[in-house]
Amino acid sequence: MPDAECQGHGRDILRLLDSYLRYMDNYGGSYRDDDDTLGDFRPLDLRETALMGFGHRNERSFDGVMRMAASQAAYGIDHELTDADCSRWPRPGDPSGRGSRSCSELFRPARHNEAVPEGDTVWRACQRLNDVLAGRVLTRSEFRVPSLAATDLTGVGVREVTSRGKHQLFRLSNELTLHTHFRMDGVWKIFPRGRRWSGGPAFEIRAVLATDDHDVVGYRLPVIELVPTASEDAVIGHLGPDLLGPDWDLDEAVRRIAAQPDRTIGEALLDQRNLAGLGTFYRAELLFLHGVHPRKQVREVRNLRRVVQRGQLLLQANRWRPEQSTTGDLRPGRRAYVYQRLGQPCRRCGTPIRFEELGPPGEERHSYWCPHCQPGPGA
């Protein structure tokens, strides 16, 4: 395609995105949790957040716009915007707000490493699954994974559905437990019997559990396995105290974190072996509320017990609603202090919020903080 034609398409894309942002600024937008959607929570990834510098907007719509804009099929281009066009938006992950280095970087495939639902989302999902399955007998079961392809649970009763951190446990009357995990893409959807399933294409279905009244369909579940109920520790025994579990143990969670004093507090809080259920949203917000930089070593955190205790209280406060808020405001764009607010002014001091990827190589997770309210290590 000639350069002039590519640039013309590039300008069309810019106008499309600008129009979208103006619409969102005027009318707002928020994550919509359908009554029959469980765990389908997809925050904006780093690239999308950094590009436009906003947090809680209409994630699904914006995600769709970005992919339409970058699609060869939709626009007949090969991501060939000019660097001058691309420099209008910040580089992904650059807290300085400088323009993107290249258009290929700007429109590269998204990394959805932020989309793992946190403990409160999984807890609420399991509550709703329990409401429709517990005490009922399965009239149909189907598993579309090789290891369970020949397994039939028809006629088996469901005793309960419960969560452990970010894991889901379906405890059955035949002394087996169906263990699943959403990770980044999984979702359980509930449909009244006879309603058309609408959670995605049929090839993404991994499990079907049906009763006389409901169909429960698992889409894109990356983890699905049957284990003896007496041996559940084989899949969840490594987890630390569950922040929303009936056996929550604050002292044990603090002890586990403090056992590695040289580790960064940001990494320690996300380690599910220390405490189960905390993710990147709550880590960022929790550390901001306590004025602790994510890179501070555990030994430097003077109020560790209070940090962990508040984490549990935040998940408790949000567990019954789809909106996750630490500010007390449920309106779009006002639910978080620092999370996904790269470059925006701190709600306390006005300093631009910063971002980095924090964690061991290959396990980096998004981290946000205010450099004024959360002084760096040693400060």
Marked catalytic residue, from 118, 267, 285, 356: 118
Contact 66, 347 (CB under 8 A): no
Contact 92, 47 (CB under 8 A): yes
Burial class (CB in 10 A: 0-12, 13-18, 19+), 330: middle
Marked catalytic residue, from 189, 283, 341, 365: 365
103 Cβ contact partners less than 8 Å away, ≥ 6 residues apart: 10, 79, 80, 81, 82, 83, 85, 86
Verify whether residue 117 is a known catalytic residue. Answer: yes
Verify whether residue 189 is a known catalytic residue. Answer: no
173 Cβ contact partners less than 8 Å away, ≥ 6 residues apart: 156, 157, 158, 159
Verify whether residue 345 is a known catalytic residue. Answer: no
Which residues are bridge partners to 215 per DSSP? 191, 210
Going from the C-alpha of 316 to that of each of 121, 250, 325, the distances in angstroms are 11, 14, 11
- The residue with tokens 């894309």 is 13
Q: Please state, in angstroms and rounded to a whole number, the distance separating the CA atoms of residues 350 and 218.
A: 43
84 Cβ contact partners less than 8 Å away, ≥ 6 residues apart: none
Write the DSSP string, 233-286: HHHHTT---BTTSTT--HHHHHHHHHT-TTSBHHHHHH-TTTSBS--HHHHHHH
Q: Please state, in angstroms and rounded to a whole number, the distance separating the CA atoms of residues 337 and 100.
A: 25
Contact 289, 131 (CB under 8 A): no
Marked catalytic residue, from 166, 171, 295, 319: 166
Contact 133, 120 (CB under 8 A): no
Q: Please state, in angstroms and rounded to a whole number, the distance separating the CA atoms of residues 163 and 232.
A: 12
Verify whether residue 365 is a known catalytic residue. Answer: yes
Q: Please state, in angstroms and rounded to a whole number, the distance separating the CA atoms of residues 201 and 204.
A: 6
What backbone torsions phi and psi does residue 71 show, to the nearest 5 degrees?
-90, 125
Write the DSSP string, 170-202: EEETTSEEEEEE-TTT-EEEEEETTSPP-SS-G
Contact 62, 25 (CB under 8 A): no
Q: Report, as residue numbers or ranges, the catalytic residues.
A: 117-118, 166, 365
